[in-house]
Amino acid sequence: MADERTQAAFDEIADGIYRISVHVSEIGPPAGFTFNQFLVDADEPLLFHTGPKAMFPLIVEAVAKVRRPDELRWISFGHYESDECGSMNLWLDVAPHSQVAANEWACMLSIADQAARPPRTMIDGEILDLGGKRLRLLTTPHVPHNWESQMLFEETTGTLLCGDLFSHFGDGRALVEDDIVGPAIEFEDAVHQSSLSATSGATIRRLADLEPTTLAIMHGRSFRGDGSAALRQIAEEYDRRVSEALDEGLVAVAGAGCPDPT
């Protein structure tokens, strides 16, 4: 699945937060597509995204540049898909004291059954104190997709681990300060990954209120700068698309009756 590189790219994108990136040239040619994991180094280190099983050796090797893999304490991800958590149980085996941390819907729907050890179930807004880093769990149903979607906000660095939101094609630099909304909209037009609904914009604007200064993106380059402005811009674009579709009678209003995951 990975390209000809034998190692994952490894970059520190914020203090103690490392991007582990594997580029796959066969997806979205000619630019290709990246699969990114994020290691939060702390007293209790956390890995956000595990990657699929095929990438497991590359990710283990990259993590070992900062911490022994068996020291990993927490595993989390945006939602239940193979690129997000395909090697979850391999990590649980390598790191015997590790545990998956996820929201109630994720644990109920998939993780409690699929993980080799019982997960830590968290509620919306709950803080996971890693010792030196503080991660706030944010439930984001259907943003950008999947009912059990979630993101993590690292409070000491202002880093939003935003999963598939802002996904875009290409490789290049690990961290950029230029436009990420345009490439994300181009990606949306190409693959239609987002579960757009009447509540999408409001969910994203809640993230903007955190005023993140770094956006750690699952597919593509990470961003440093006014994360709040980027989030509000993409929320406005999503609202516009939903409004246009409703006006044209193309879709029903989805998400309005979604139960509160808290």
Contact 157, 140 (CB under 8 A): no
Out of 15-19, 22-26, 181-185, least confident range: 22-26
Contact 161, 153 (CB under 8 A): yes
List of residues 6+ apart from 28 with CB closer than 8 A: 169, 170, 190
CATH code reported for the domain at 9-247: 3.60.15.10
* pLDDT tens per residue, range 89-123: 999 999 999 999 999 999 999 999 999 999 999 99
DSSP category for residue 26: T
Q: Could you tell me what percentage of the chain is helix, strand and coil, using 3-state DSSP and rounding each to the nearest 5?
A: 30, 25, 45
Given a cut of 80, is residue 249 above it in pLDDT? no
Contact 93, 116 (CB under 8 A): yes
User: The tokens of 122 are what?
Assistant: 């968290």
Nearest partner of 160 among 127, 138, 185, judged by Cα: 138
Confidence at 261, pLDDT banded by 50, 70, 90: very low
Share of the chain above pLDDT 90, in %: 87
CA atoms of 104 and 114, how far apart (whole Å): 14
Say what the pLDDT of residue 199 is: 95
* pLDDT tens per residue, range 193-230: 999 999 999 999 999 999 999 999 999 999 999 999 99
Confidence at 5, pLDDT banded by 50, 70, 90: low
